[in-house]
Amino acid sequence: MEELLHYVWGHRLIDPGALVTSDGRSVQIIDPGLLNPNAGPDFFNAKVKIGGRLWCGNVEVHVRASDWARHGHSSDPAYDSVILHVVQHDDCQVCRRDGEPIPQLGMACSADFVQRYAEFVGTSSDRLPCAGAIARMEPVHLRDWIDSMAIERLNDKAARVLDLLDNFRGSWQDAAYVVLARSLGTGVNGDAFERLALATPLNVMLKHSDSLTAVEAILFGQAGLIPDGPEGYAAELRREYDFYAAKFSLIPPPSLGWKMARMRPAAFPHRRIALLARLVVQGFHLMDQVLNASDVDAVRAIFTSVAFSGHWATHYHLGAASSSPVPEAVSRATADSLAVNAAVPLLYAFGHATGSQSHVDQAIDILSAIPAERNSLVETFVRSGLECRDAFTSQAFIQMRRAYCDVRKCLYCRVGHRILAAKTAP
């Protein structure tokens, strides 16, 4: 409830007729101040007129006025600067440490507003809190929010790329290697792939990039996917891995927990690791390839040009061969997924790191040219009546769902704000 009161105060959604202190003085909000996420008063540098007199200072918000003492503010010098105490229930008068009363404003939200907010945050997780209203929003407002969500997601991904760049002391090649590895795992095995890449230095494999068997042995051995008592090709990988692990003091990451249940065989981690090995054998020029890609087809070609031969032409894993034909190494859908989750974030991050707006724009153009992703997160919005034709929009929906809907931050979502703010006062 206190978070709701912060929202109402911060957005000046109080009925003007209710702006009166407990002792009868009128209140005019000139500036509600800045919300403080840390210790201290809730809003800094507010400006309010109380009884015609301008006050500048901080504002504290509580559900009950008695929370002032219960939270220890009566003896805390940080609260001497409070010029207005905003409360839902005016059950007592509060004072500063010197005994001076603090003006107090009772702020009652309408029952309708509280009910709608409760319905929002109490919605089951399998549907949008605003499912009945989001499709009825004005297109210009909805498009603006979708665009901002897509950019927010790109910025989040770029920040992770730049963190990796710092960890690798400015090596875009190493950062791209880890980003691609995580993307190969998608949402199911993404963490496991990232941990595998971080534990398996790219430069070690590049020293032996003239041998596909050596690179595969290192990756599969580090992944813990070479079966016990191996036979055939798996036995060869085991011998090679034992040699290189001793040579380079390789330590496999513990408990990667690979998941394969209800997964298409073409998406098994074994196949994705074999794909990564082939890109390493080619010299792993992903960053240069991404920067030189002129359009989405050129980005797709980075991945679809990889072909499987030998063991992986007939196998999905290191066990028995498949009884049915094995598809190509990278399908069009997989190439699009790698473009969305690896190539575009790398390009966007490079643009920000170097101040190149052309690379930022190119990343957005490529994302907009890829068909929309189809998953449960995106389908939630489609079922609510929204169109999703490209990956720029589907990425926006994923960001909205994860960063706002699932955690019920409806108060901080522009869609939720417009719906909730439609009527707030009694």
pLDDT digits (tens, 9 = 90+) for 302-318: 999 999 999 999 999 99
Q: Residue 305 half-sphere exposure, CB side, CA atoms within 13 Å?
A: 10
Last residue of a domain, one of 109, 131, 149: 109
Verify that 104 and 176 share a domain, yes or no. no
Verify that 173 and 317 share a domain, yes or no. yes
Q: Indicate whether 136 belongs to any domain.
A: no
pLDDT at 125: 60
Instruction: Look at the chain and report how many structural domains it folds into.
Output: 2
Q: Indicate whether 139 belongs to any domain.
A: no
The Cα 207–Cα 138 span in angstroms is 57
Verify that 264 and 179 share a domain, yes or no. yes
Verify that 179 and 312 share a domain, yes or no. yes
Verify that 66 and 178 share a domain, yes or no. no
Q: Which amino acid is at 31?
A: D
CA trace torsion 263, 267, 273, 275 (10° rounding): 170
Verify that 297 and 188 share a domain, yes or no. yes
The Cα 289–Cα 286 span in angstroms is 5
The Cα 227–Cα 395 span in angstroms is 37
Q: Indicate whether 176 belongs to any domain.
A: yes
Who wins on pLDDT, 53 or 118?
Answer: 53
Last residue of a domain, one of 60, 79, 109: 109
pLDDT at 111: 66
Verify that 89 and 187 share a domain, yes or no. no
Q: Indicate whether 114 belongs to any domain.
A: no
Of 307, 299, 248, nearest to 282 (Cα)?
Answer: 307
Tell me if 105 sits within 8 A of 86, measured CB to CB: yes
**Chain segment 75-110, per-residue pLDDT in tens:** 999 999 999 999 988 999 999 999 999 999 988 766
Distance set, CA 307 to CA 29, 64, 311, 327 (Å): 66, 67, 12, 10
Instruction: Give SS3 for 334.
Output: helix
Verify that 311 and 183 share a domain, yes or no. yes
**Mean pLDDT of the 228-256 span:** 94
Distance set, CA 242 to CA 15, 78, 200, 203, 407 (Å): 73, 62, 14, 18, 46
Q: Indicate whether 187 belongs to any domain.
A: yes
Verify that 95 and 177 share a domain, yes or no. no
**Chain segment 130-187, per-residue pLDDT in tens:** 877 788 888 888 999 999 999 999 999 999 999 999 999 999 999 999 999 999 999 8
Last residue of a domain, one of 352, 369, 386: 369
pLDDT at 231: 86
Q: Could you tell me the residue range of the domain that residue 241 belongs to?
A: 168-369
Verify that 102 and 173 share a domain, yes or no. no
Q: Indicate whether 230 belongs to any domain.
A: yes
Instruction: Give SS3 for 25.
Output: coil
**Chain segment 312-341, per-residue pLDDT in tens:** 999 999 999 999 989 999 999 999 999 999
Of 86, 63, 66, 92, nearest to 9 (Cα)?
Answer: 86
Q: Indicate whether 158 belongs to any domain.
A: no
Q: Could you identify the residue written with the tokens 């500048």?
A: 56
Q: Which amino acid is at 8?
A: V
Task: Output the six-digit token pair for 85.
Answer: 């105490």
Q: What are phi and psi of 420, to 5 degrees?
A: -70, -35
User: What mean pLDDT value characterizes the chain?
Assistant: 91
Verify that 103 and 200 share a domain, yes or no. no
Verify that 83 and 184 share a domain, yes or no. no
